[in-house]
Amino acid sequence: MEREVIITGIGGQGIQLMAKLLAQAANVAGKQVMLFGIYQGMMRGGSSESTVVIGDEAIQAPPIIPHASCVLAMHPMALPDAVKKLRANGILFVNSTLVPRPTRDDVQVLEVPATKLAEDAGNLMGAGMIALGAFCAATGIVPHDALITAMREVLPPHRQHLADKNVQLLNHGTEFITRRAAQHSGLGTQHSGL
């Protein structure tokens, strides 16, 4: 089975790092993976998008895809185009601090206030790591331990001093989903299938 994930946002949010980390975590977990990033020339504020295709066997879909099973949106700038690619019954994961709830009723929407959670944690730049941790926990697309291992592998040497902080942020996103699932299961409803 293949799962296509589009990660979209703006430059400065770590979109390309999130995609690289997800791809590396899939590799660590023994999956096949392809990664393709598209971004504008400016470092901050321009559109940034990455596609990660993860499969159990050799990848059949090219990394430039017409449709996706998941969209992770950190900013509303490029969301309209990404949402058009999302298959019916797909998963739309949004950073609800910045992204308004989209008006598609044929997909599962998971809202996580990643920017607010990062601000509360004292690390506004960590919203992407919180979102990625929450996304992986909610979808089960890669195991959490593979995500942690990948974090330590993908950071370049001059950024290795951030690895432990990034791991904490990934854990924070995972814990948010765990708490939410516990609250919902306590009410007799559960978000199975995410």
* Percentage of residues in the chain having pLDDT higher than 90: 66
* Percentage of residues in the chain having pLDDT higher than 70: 91
pLDDT of 85-102, one tens digit each?
A: 999 999 999 999 999 988
As a whole number, mean pLDDT of residues 67-82 equals 92
pLDDT-derived band at 40 (thresholds 50, 70, 90) equals: low
How far is the C-alpha of 165 from the C-alpha of 153, rounded, in Å?
14
- What are the extents of the domains in the chain? 2-186
Residue 21, amino acid: L
Instruction: Indicate the fold that domain 2-186 takes in CATH.
Output: Pyruvate-ferredoxin Oxidoreductase; domain 3 (3.40.920)
**What is the per-residue pLDDT for 42?**
55
CB atoms within 10 A of CB 47: 17
DSSP type of residue 62: -
**Complete DSSP assignment for 83-128:** HHHEEEEEEEEEETTTSPPP--SSSEEEEE-HHHHHHHTT-GGGHH
pLDDT of 49-61, one tens digit each?
A: 999 999 999 887 6
pLDDT of 103-138, one tens digit each?
A: 888 999 999 999 999 999 999 899 999 999 999 999
Q: Which helix (H) or strand (E) holds 69?
A: strand 68-73
Please list the residues that pair with 4 across neighbouring strands: 53
**What is the per-residue pLDDT for 189?**
37
Q: Which residues of 63-90 are buried (b: 16+ CB within 10 A; e: fewer)?
A: bebeebbbbbbbbbbbbeebbebbeeeb
pLDDT surpasses 90 at 169: yes
**What is the per-residue pLDDT for 183?**
86
pLDDT-derived band at 194 (thresholds 50, 70, 90) equals: very low
Mean pLDDT of the chain: 89
